[in-house]
Amino acid sequence: MADNNNLITKRKKEHLELCLTDKVSFKNKTNGFENYDFIHCAITEVDINKIDFTTSFLSKTISYPFIISCMTGGTEEAENINLRLATVASELNIPIGVGSQRRSISNNKYDNSYKIIRDKAKRVPVLGNIGAAQIVQLKEYSNLQRLVDLVEADVMVIHLNPLQELLQKEGEPNFIGLLQSINNIKKKLNVSIIVKEVGSGISFYSAKKLLEVGVDGIDVAGAGGTSWAGVEIMRNKNKKYNQFWDWGLPTSYCIRNIHTLKEKYNFSLIGSGGINDEFENAKAFALGADLTASARIILQTLNNSGTSGVINLISSWFDTLKKIMFLTGSNNLPELRDNKIIKKENLY
């Protein structure tokens, strides 16, 4: 067990180190947002000063529909990062995810590295996190309830990372019973469920299956941002699986397609995967996202410019979003989602 714990600490450290660089970005595949442009509205009748992003998420009022994506926990270094990320979430009044809580299933030594998020960000929605590989092996639902209680999670996020499990030396690429497990968790735990990828995206078909087993939200975490194949290939120092580096469905494609499921299902659609600037953020909303989320750019900005840097980054993205809404004649996000974006190929 001690060895296993040391291995996990080492792995988490390596993940953080690699994600502070841009070496783990997708190489040739993009998130696809550059293929779209906004439709300029010369007859806009919007008052920019009246645009307000305050909304409700998981029964709490938040100031921006933006989530600090699930990233870390389970080490001392993670505790410090989570404390600072929680400060940002609290100041901006936005939701924040904790990293995989797998470590707390078998060992409570690092519980505080997760709990610190709830301690610091008391009012905001906090997202718990556990992986597909863990839930398919779960014997006791009380173990999962403990993770929810630990951070007083408003929702439990289940991350689907088949590509990462496949390429990770210590990975567990066996997801038999996944949908049934999600369904059981939904029935047995008194908490909402969001399912997310980690950078390979979720297809229309997969999303539909997930909605049929009752998930409350889908975070596409599409291709074009952080490549978790890239992270594991770099950790393994083995280029054998290089062709998987760019595996996955681009973020824009996932949002656009999964959005159409809104006609039949009631769920929150979160757009993420390489949302690294204000226009990508705005285009994710225009294509159908209810909320957006980012991970690596947040970690990098925290590292380079501290909590104030992250606060400035997120607020400036939403300032620009207001300008784009003014120029497209959108008083609110539902109006921005209504035919305000066009594929560039249709402009010429």
Ligand X SMILES: Cc1cc2nc3c(=O)[nH]c(=O)nc-3n(C[C@H](O)[C@H](O)[C@H](O)COP(=O)(O)O)c2cc1C
Q: Contact positions toward ligand X, by CB under 6 A? A: 15-16, 19, 69-72, 99-100, 129, 157, 159, 196, 198-199, 221, 225-226, 272-275, 294-297, 299
- Closest residue to ligand X, based on beta-carbon distance: 225
Q: Which token pair is 263?
A: 């006609």
Residue 121 neighbours by CB distance under 10 Å: 26
Minimum distance of ligand X from residue 83's CB (angstroms): 16
Which of 346, 343, 347, 250 has its CA nearest to residue 35? 343
Minimum distance of ligand X from residue 20's CB (angstroms): 8
Residue in the block written with tokens 């909605």: 211
Bridge partners of 127, per DSSP, are 97, 155
Running DSSP on this structure, what letter comes out for residue 150?
Answer: H
Q: 95 vs 199, which CB is nearer to ligand X? A: 199
Q: 130 vs 286, which CB is nearer to ligand X? A: 130
Minimum distance of ligand X from residue 294's CB (angstroms): 4
Distance CA 328, CA 56 (A): 24
Q: 274 vs 288, which CB is nearer to ligand X? A: 274
- What one-character-per-residue DSSP string does 204-223 give? HHHHHHHHHTT-SEEE---B
Minimum distance of ligand X from residue 272's CB (angstroms): 5
List of residues 6+ apart from 92 with CB closer than 8 A: 63, 64, 66, 311, 314, 315
Minimum distance of ligand X from residue 21's CB (angstroms): 11
Minimum distance of ligand X from residue 72's CB (angstroms): 5
Minimum distance of ligand X from residue 235's CB (angstroms): 12
Task: Give yes or no for a contact between 110 and 100, defined as CB atoms under 8 angstroms apart.
Answer: no
Q: 114 vs 326, which CB is nearer to ligand X? A: 114
Which of 95, 87, 114 has its CA nearest to residue 103? 114
Q: 99 vs 329, which CB is nearer to ligand X? A: 99
Helix (H) or strand (E) holding 293: strand 291-294
Q: 227 vs 330, which CB is nearer to ligand X? A: 227
Q: 69 vs 87, which CB is nearer to ligand X? A: 69
Minimum distance of ligand X from residue 73's CB (angstroms): 7
- Write 263-268 long-range contacts (CB < 8 A, 24+): 264/211, 265/211, 267/211, 267/215, 267/216, 267/217, 267/218, 268/57, 268/194, 268/216, 268/217, 268/218
- What one-character-per-residue DSSP string does 55-118 give? EEETTEEESSSEEE-----SSHHHHHHHHHHHHHHHHHT--EEPPP-THHHH--TTHHHHHHHH
Q: Say how many residues make up the chain.
A: 348
Residue type, 235: R
Minimum distance of ligand X from residue 226's CB (angstroms): 4
